[in-house]
A = this chain, B = another copy of it.
């Protein structure tokens, strides 16, 4: 069985796509995380509706995360 946190471990330094509760989508390189699924992304691109913008390094609060998909 694969633990959810193992997917994060295997995704380190790789691109992931994160959907937040407010429907924003963040795509960036996962460089860190903790047990609460707080995450650090680098070279992040944020999409909200039609709007896309580069936001560089981002700390995400785990409790706002809906899904995480390795790219």
Chain A residues with CB under 8 Å of chain B are: 1-8, 12, 20-24, 26, 31-34, 37-40, 44, 55-70
The answer for the CA separation of A24 and B6 in the assembled complex, in Å, is 24
Instruction: State the number of copies, please.
Output: 7
CB pair B62–A69 under 8 Å, yes or no, is: no
Contact residues in B for A68 (Cβ distance below 8 Å): 58-59
CB pair A20–B70 under 8 Å, yes or no, is: no
CB pair A67–B62 under 8 Å, yes or no, is: no
The answer for the CA separation of A34 and B47 in the assembled complex, in Å, is 29
CB pair B64–A21 under 8 Å, yes or no, is: yes
User: What distance in Å separates the Cβ of A23 from its nearest Cβ neighbour in chain B?
Assistant: 8
Contact residues in B for A22 (Cβ distance below 8 Å): 21, 23, 66
